[in-house]
Amino acid sequence: MSLFDKFQPIVDIRSDLQALGIMPFGAVTEKILSSTEAIVNGHQVILAGTNNYLGLTFDPECIAAAKQAIEDFGTGTTGSRMANGTFADHIRLEQELASYFERKYAIVFSTGYAATMGMGSTLAGPGDVIVLDADSHASIYDGVRLSGADIIRFRHNDAADLDKRLRRLGDRISNTLIIVEGIYSMMGDQAPLADIAEVKRKYGGMLLVDEAHSLGMLGEHGRGVAEAAGVEDDVDFVVGTFSKSLSAIGGYCVSNHAELEAVRFAIRSYIFTASPSPSVIASTRVALRLMQERPELRERLWENAHRLYDGLQQLGLQVSPQVSPVIAVTIKERNQAIDWWNQLMQRGAYVNLVMPPASPTDDSLLRCSVSAAHSPEQIDRIVEAFAAVKNSSN
C-alpha cells in the first residue's frame, strides 16, 4: 500500500482527459477582456461560470480604491489579525458589514472558505450537536468535522425532515447548531428559510445561514434569502464571501450575539492566517457601497437569469429546479458532459463542469452563473452555443 493509492481514481480521470486533449479543471485564463469575456485555454469566450454576479470586478471605483490602498499600505499585511494584521480598514469594513446587515457584530476573514469552515468548527464542539442540510458546501462539512460535535444531516431543503431530527434531540436542542445555505451553489435552488425558521422557533437551537451565493441578489436590500423570506430575526449567524457579488476575496460572519467577539479569539482559521490585503479590503468596501447604491444591478442580474433559464429550458435540457443566477444543466453520462463542456468552450461559452463527488447527485453538471454585466446578446449567444452542441450530439 502507498499513501498515493487512494488518489488512483483521480489519476485515471486525468489520464482519460489528457488522452482526449481536454482539461476542464483548472482551465487557464490567459487574458481578461472584460468582466464577461476572456481568453481561456486559447479560446475567446463569454464567461458564464465565474460567480461575478453583479459584474463589479472591473468597476472603476473598486479598482481605484484598490490601487490607492496599495500605494498607502503596500501589497499585504504579512500577519494575522491577532498579530500585526489588523489595519484600520479591516475594522471599518467590519463596521460597515454589521451596519448593512443591521447586526451589532461582524468578523472579516481572509477567505469565504475560512469564514464558513471557521464558524462551523468553532461554534459547536464535543458534546454539542450540528444539524445541517445534506447538500451543504464542502467548507461547511470540513468545518463541522473539525468541531468534534455530533453531526446529523437532514434531507436537502426538507423542513419536515429537519423537524423530525430536532424533535428527537430532546433536551440537547439547547446546544444545537442548525446550518443551511441561502442559495445552493451547484443547482441554484433556494432554502425554504421561512419553513426552516418556523421549525427552529418550535424547538430552539441556533441557526447559521451561508448567504455566499445570495448576497446582493435577494431581499429589499440584497441581504439574501433570509431577508427575502422575512426571517432575519430568526437567523443567529450569517456567513458569506466577498468572492461572488463583491468581486474580491474574503469572508465574513455577522450576528447580534455579543459572544461573537469572544468566538473571534477561538477561530483557528481567523487566528492562524494572514489577514486580507489592504487592496482587497478597499475594493470590497467600495463594492459593498455600490451594491446598495445600484439596485439596478440586481434587476439586470435577474433579467439575465430568467433569459438564460428560459432559453435552456426551451432547448429541452434538464435545468435547475428554479430560476436563479446559478443555472445547472444535468448530464447523465460523464463522458457526454466532458464532451459538451469542450464543445461549449470551442463555441465561445465558458461554463463549469461539475462531476461526482462534487455534484450533489451521481450525475454531472454543466453549471452556469450569470452576471448583471452580461448583455442580452451575450446570454443569447450562450443559449445558441448549447443549442449547437445539443444538435451536434443528436
Active site residue ranges = 185, 213, 244
Measured CA to CA, the distance from residue 379 to residue 129 in angstroms comes to 44
CB 225 within 8 Å of CB 218: yes
The answer, yes or no, to whether the previous bond of 278 is cis (omega within 30 of 0) is: no
The set of cell numbers assigned to 292 is: 446598495
Q: Which ranges of 42-110 does DSSP label H, i.e. alpha helix?
A: 60-73, 88-101
**Which residues have a Cβ under 8 Å from the Cβ of 394 and sit 6 or more positions away?**
none
Closest Cα to residue 250, out of 390, 18, 93, 133?
A: 93
**Which residues have a Cβ under 8 Å from the Cβ of 23 and sit 6 or more positions away?**
17, 41
Measured CA to CA, the distance from residue 297 to residue 62 in angstroms comes to 15
**Strands 206-210 and 237-241, how do they pair?**
parallel
HSE-up of residue 70 (Cα within 13 Å, Cβ side): 9
The set of cell numbers assigned to 386 is: 448549447
Q: How many residues does the chain have?
A: 394
CB 35 within 8 Å of CB 58: yes
